[in-house]
Structure 1
């Protein structure tokens, strides 16, 4: 990607914002080094990784804490004789510990219902150096000191040092009490000077006691005095201190060797943490965009077309999220705060509520977009918005657009924006444009985006417009996409007459003539030069004379263009109103669906609880069989009335809301979709008994006989209902069939037990258990279970025409 385009489109300012959201210096440096990716697969991988990181962060709530940079440690380890000091080892311990927390969070989140395979693969690709982590945890404490347990020798030496300290403390206390020297001392406690225990003695008493004076305080009022009885103990202490330093150096050398042996894994763990820091910063950047509107990853597809919905300039969106005009959060004070984007229209592209969102779209087959309209109307910001969002999308960064936005994959982006004339180099505005375009001309081709801001404006208008048209033709012939802003009438007409080019105009308020920062497509706009000049204080006399010259030249088409602008503004207002109404209705539908589901769940839970209560009372003997059946019938009646009032379980309105005429049995056919009116349920005709005037209907896995008058027509394709359990109901009998074939004995018994409970709840009088013939082992287990089930009146094998010894018919009490 051309570095000049990155600079012109201010990609670096976005990276500065990203770096400000990192928690570490290493992460900030990695963020500043982010560049657009060069392959479509890499772009897709980066977008998918960002999406997983955002879902993982929201699912687990994990947040990285700050960690120190390790580049200096790695450079030091390049020298074979180097022994890392305690500060470096503590930094390694902190960093590897945080990497372990990151890996655990990703893996545990995956195990608790999250799905982020790319994050998991990233963690698996950087395994922790286990020996190094274990050694650092054992030897280095949280406060950055070596633990006593680092080695047996170090533990013994430090134990002796503590013993000498206690001995010195005791001797000093005894000496002070025996000779009553407390008033000689500045402090009742001993202290250290030159690594020896001494007493803080008042200077005017230094000749009263025998000992060695090591130093004086800055004021000279205190001398640090070593009494003779401490000399021998201090000498022993110095020897122990020397041994302690030697043992500590052995531990440091051992830990350094561990790190050096697993250096590749240590580097990998550190790189994983840095990448995690940048990923979290990308999630935070997306959250910043969402503070003032929509945000997410833009879809980049090869061979697609431009479709940015609700796009906002990223820098303006970030400024609006903070409520100011620039800067980054105060978490990184060392970095300069980036300003809002520079450009002719940047300052005014928005309001106190943030930048105005704009749709930037090309239809399939179109490669060019020509934007016209008045000065300060937002043309340059539209160009910069497209260019910067394209760069960010190719770099895997979140962008401020609505969901559903997409861009083609561009391998190169060339931006020609701004006045780059140079007096020193004798280069005019027009010459600078031509020079830069000539420099990249050979690199144009399919997969490039060219952004031209008022190209050709620095020369004769007729020649400049002709040159601009020729450039657009050649760029599109090469397969590149071109987006241009212009004031040339010839280029406006060019955009309206080419199938591969789309014209757009920035809109102005018809009354106030102020810019609306919106694009109207398939039309051109006037430059509004006189209105802008009037708004910025040019004398009225000058403006009136300019209007006279326009009339004399016959070029005053402002009335026509104003009319087009007014119509476009009205159309945009109507579209906005329709979108708002659509969103309101969508929200209302969502709330109604949630309310219906909540009431439906409450109703069924209540009925189910009542049915379980009745069954429990019957099993415990509190009510008779007849009373239980009556209570279950009442419960079923309440369920039917509730379902009819609230609708089907699948969320469709019930029959109570829309009564339908009953059907005649002669008109029904097998497979026809019907509605069972008493329950408000959809079903399918399984069998028609015209002689008795009844129909067998399948209702969500349950089959039952129903009167034709209880059925209503349903305009829907026939459905085949398949279920492991079927039920048949008639006036005289009610039975249920459960298929246990192929199950293990314990599973089959458990399934049969549940089926019997359901049959009792539904008021069934019989159950048919299909276990198959086979060896007869499953049949024996089922019969043994039935003998002990309290609700079974009797059971026997079915007649041969109904399954024989492969089916057991169970009669319930």
Structure 2
């Protein structure tokens, strides 16, 4: 991609705004260096990682904090003679601690589910270096005493000497009554030796060595003779401390050198993720999305906004900047934009170009969901006044020279933006040249967008196959632009109205109007009429869209209320059924009484469900949702009005209804309210399935699927499941708990072991699910 293109589209300004969202300077520098990807294979994973980063940032899965640039340390790690000093080790330790936290936050999860998590988990990791730095470096950036036995020992002795000196000075001052001679009642350090701060006019009162004076000259720092020997010992210990620290730092440097490739990979992973989080923050600021980019796509940017306008408007930018739909059909390659000066034509071109470059660079763009773009390998831009006095070039000449230079590189994977191309020369010749250039670009299969005032090019946009015309609308009452793009029509330039708006004298405007009428070239009335019709159409479409949105929200609210009422009813009936089962098990209800109570509960469920949905129980819809004749007992279906999975128990072809089991509750459902369901019964539901034993189906067994449930929920479901099975007379059950960590399996076995009605239980054979399923025999 040409740097000239990126500069004209102001892509570096977008990168600066992105860099400001990164928390570290290395990531900010990486943001400024972003360029478009060379091929789709490289762009696709970058977009997928960004989509995942947007979700993770929204969920606050990890919070980035500033970290230092350790790139210069890698040269040291490659050298055999050079070593890392304490500051470098502290910087390295800080970086690796942040990477460790990132790995902890994002490195979990099943492989293949998240590309970003897989990248973090698979990144090389300097395990030994990070562990050693965490053990040896303290929070204040010093080596811990525990870094080595030698360092621990020497520092203990240094602390002991400090205590000894403090005690001896206190004794000396007390015995000699030296308090009035001291400037302060403490021992201090000068020239790395313990001294007493003595008032200058009493410097002869204490025999010792003078080391220094204060800046005011009122204090003299004296080392008493009785401290000389202990200070000498302190200097020896300080030297031993430095040697011990040097050995620790050499050891840490050696570990880092051994794992230098892992260290570099970990650092670059942290920078990469910081950049991803900055991109995710930019997506939030822009109210943006990640468009689909593929070679076969057409230009389809919905509700597109110029990113710099959005960012300049602050938090309300996504709402206040007028969006534009930049859309071409699959058989169209060119967009001709017309309309008034300062009406937004150039902004449309820049928005298309800049959003294309951002998408190709793996950045979010301020556009609506469902936006897509072709994969452009090259983008060429002709914007603004390109004249150059130094090169003796006019605007027209500069445009022609630039076009001539890039013409051999233009192909079907190119986007070309032409702003007033052909201006600056004779209008008729400029228009003809512009049309010929557009023809040539279309012949090469290139995409292009052009803004123009040429009448001939306006007509060309309406008549040429593969070209779509559009105009920027203006308010017919005020003659001011409304910054809305209307398709399949052209607009007037309204140059006289713009000149009047900007203060040109009225007598000049009146004379211009007369010349225009004499020339016979004013089609303003026609354009005004077209603009008025288009503006009304756009406003009607806006009102219709708002009405549809409000209606969709109302319908969704009703659906949510209906679902909530249904769920509440099912839960109430389920609890009632469990209570009946418990009372029967405890002997407080006879079998017939329990069955009667369950039948009444089912009847209540049917009646109240019909009242909620507004249907009559047992009615038959004119068109069935499933072929009832093809259903068999034990087959799983989905109940549409409840959005739940159920298992067929019985069917009545005459009534076109089936008796189904929803979570332990049985009811009749019309065929029109059922749809085929794939896979196993929904979690928490009771299903009747053939139990394959001894290699052949023999009898019917109840199956409960509790995979993914919390332990307390699974326990409640299992208890109710066993109660229901006992009431129905089933002797064998199957519990699907999955393998996982085994925690849910252990909880199930604990409950089964303590249940008084369970005769035995065992894991299923390997061909039936192995340790992912438990088979139960009831008494």
CA contact 2:441–2:447 (8 Å) conserved in 1: yes
Question: Take 1:641 and 1:359, find their aligned partners in 2: how far apart are those partners?
Answer: 50
Change (3 A) 1:152 1:718: closer
Change (3 A) 1:760 1:642: farther
Question: Take 1:675 and 1:389, find their aligned partners in 2: how far apart are those partners?
Answer: 43
Change (3 A) 1:662 1:246: closer
Q: Which residue of 2 aligns with 1:585?
A: 551
Question: Take 1:685 and 1:381, find their aligned partners in 2: how far apart are those partners?
Answer: 64
SS at 1:141 equivalent: coil
CA contact 1:701–1:721 (8 Å) conserved in 2: no
Question: Take 2:370 and 2:430, find their aligned partners in 1: how far apart are those partners?
Answer: 38
Q: Which residue of 2 aligns with 1:230?
A: 227
Change (3 A) 1:670 1:194: closer
For 1:564-614, what per-residue CA distance to the aligned partner results, in whole angstroms no more than 9, with x for missing partners?
000000111111111111111111222222111111111111111122223
CA contact 2:651–2:658 (8 Å) conserved in 1: no
For 1:523-552, what per-residue CA distance to the aligned partner results, in whole angstroms no more than 9, with x for missing partners?
111101011011111111111111111111
Q: Which residue of 2 aligns with 1:66?
A: 66
SS at 1:71 equivalent: coil
Displacement of 1:645 after TM fit?
Answer: 1.2
For 1:738-762, what per-residue CA distance to the aligned partner results, in whole angstroms no more than 9, with x for missing partners?
74433999x979979977632566x
Q: Which residue of 1 aligns with 2:364?
A: 398
Q: Which residue of 2 aligns with 1:517?
A: 483
Change (3 A) 1:697 1:600: closer
CA contact 1:362–1:502 (8 Å) conserved in 2: yes
Of the three residues 285, 305, 311, the one matched with 1:312 is: 305
Matches within 5 A, 1:100-115: 100-108=100-108, 110=109
Matches within 5 A, 1:534-573: 534-573=500-539
Displacement of 1:44 after TM fit?
Answer: 1.5
TM-score (norm 1): 0.81
SS at 1:209 equivalent: coil
For 1:769-791, what per-residue CA distance to the aligned partner results, in whole angstroms no more than 9, with x for missing partners?
799xxxxxxxxxxxxx9xx9879
Of the three residues 533, 537, 540, the one matched with 2:499 is: 533
Displacement of 1:519 after TM fit?
Answer: 0.9
Displacement of 1:643 after TM fit?
Answer: 1.5
Question: Take 1:178 and 1:356, find their aligned partners in 2: how far apart are those partners?
Answer: 87
Question: Take 2:567 and 2:506, find their aligned partners in 1: how far apart are those partners?
Answer: 73
CA contact 2:49–2:115 (8 Å) conserved in 1: yes
CA contact 2:650–2:660 (8 Å) conserved in 1: no
Change (3 A) 1:390 1:791: closer
Structure of greater Rg: 1
For 1:234-259, what per-residue CA distance to the aligned partner results, in whole angstroms no more than 9, with x for missing partners?
01101111111111111111111111
Tell me whether 1:359 sits opposite 2:319 in the alignment: no
CA contact 1:671–1:685 (8 Å) conserved in 2: no
Change (3 A) 1:183 1:271: same
Q: Which residue of 1 aligns with 2:660?
A: 700
For 1:56-112, what per-residue CA distance to the aligned partner results, in whole angstroms no more than 9, with x for missing partners?
22335311111000122223334432121110000000001101111111123x36x
Of the three residues 336, 339, 343, the one matched with 1:377 is: 343
CA contact 1:741–1:770 (8 Å) conserved in 2: no
Of the three residues 327, 338, 354, the one matched with 1:388 is: 354
Tell me whether 1:187 sits opposite 2:184 in the alignment: yes
Tell me whether 1:654 sits opposite 2:615 in the alignment: yes
Q: Which residue of 2 aligns with 1:148?
A: 145
Tell me whether 1:204 sits opposite 2:201 in the alignment: yes
CA contact 2:474–2:481 (8 Å) conserved in 1: yes
Give the stretch that moved more between structures: 470-479 or 67-76: 67-76
Q: Which residue of 1 aligns with 2:218?
A: 221
CA contact 1:374–1:525 (8 Å) conserved in 2: yes
Change (3 A) 1:134 1:659: closer
CA contact 1:685–1:695 (8 Å) conserved in 2: no
For 1:91-134, what per-residue CA distance to the aligned partner results, in whole angstroms no more than 9, with x for missing partners?
000001101111111123x36xx975311332244221111112
Question: Take 2:383 and 2:368, find their aligned partners in 1: how far apart are those partners?
Answer: 26
Tell me whether 1:605 sits opposite 2:605 in the alignment: no
Q: Which residue of 1 aligns with 2:125?
A: 128
Tell me whether 1:420 sits opposite 2:386 in the alignment: yes
Question: Take 1:441 and 1:662, find their aligned partners in 2: how far apart are those partners?
Answer: 64
Question: Take 1:243 and 1:62, find their aligned partners in 2: how far apart are those partners?
Answer: 43
CA contact 1:671–1:720 (8 Å) conserved in 2: no
Displacement of 1:492 after TM fit?
Answer: 0.7
Displacement of 1:623 after TM fit?
Answer: 4.2
Tell me whether 1:53 sits opposite 2:53 in the alignment: yes
Change (3 A) 1:354 1:480: same
Question: Take 1:630 and 1:363, find their aligned partners in 2: how far apart are those partners?
Answer: 65
Matches within 5 A, 1:86-97: 86-97=86-97
Task: Structure 1 unaligned segments of length 5 or more: list them.
Answer: 325-349, 648-652, 726-735, 772-784, 793-809
Change (3 A) 1:459 1:687: closer
Matches within 5 A, 1:230-629: 230-290=227-287, 295-322=288-315, 354-625=320-591, 627-629=593-595
SS at 2:693 equivalent: coil
Question: Take 1:217 and 1:84, find their aligned partners in 2: how far apart are those partners?
Answer: 37
Change (3 A) 1:610 1:141: same
Question: Take 1:150 and 1:717, find their aligned partners in 2: how far apart are those partners?
Answer: 70
Matches within 5 A, 1:172-183: 172-183=169-180
Q: Which residue of 2 aligns with 1:339?
A: none
TM-score (norm 2): 0.84
Q: Which residue of 2 aligns with 1:805?
A: none
Tell me whether 1:642 sits opposite 2:576 in the alignment: no
Question: Take 1:72 and 1:790, find their aligned partners in 2: how far apart are those partners?
Answer: 71
Displacement of 1:272 after TM fit?
Answer: 0.5
Give the stretch that moved more between structures: 298-307 or 400-409: 298-307
Question: Take 1:675 and 1:382, find their aligned partners in 2: how far apart are those partners?
Answer: 48
Question: Take 1:711 and 1:161, find their aligned partners in 2: how far apart are those partners?
Answer: 87
Question: Take 1:303 and 1:630, find their aligned partners in 2: how far apart are those partners?
Answer: 64
Of the three residues 135, 138, 142, the one matched with 1:138 is: 135
Displacement of 1:497 after TM fit?
Answer: 1.0
Q: Which residue of 1 aligns with 2:693?
A: 742
SS at 2:492 equivalent: coil
For 1:715-766, what per-residue CA distance to the aligned partner results, in whole angstroms no more than 9, with x for missing partners?
69997999999xxxxxxxxxx9774433999x979979977632566xx5x5
Displacement of 1:377 after TM fit?
Answer: 0.4
CA contact 1:372–1:492 (8 Å) conserved in 2: yes
Question: Take 1:282 and 1:147, find their aligned partners in 2: how far apart are those partners?
Answer: 39
Question: Take 2:757 and 2:674, find their aligned partners in 1: how far apart are those partners?
Answer: 44
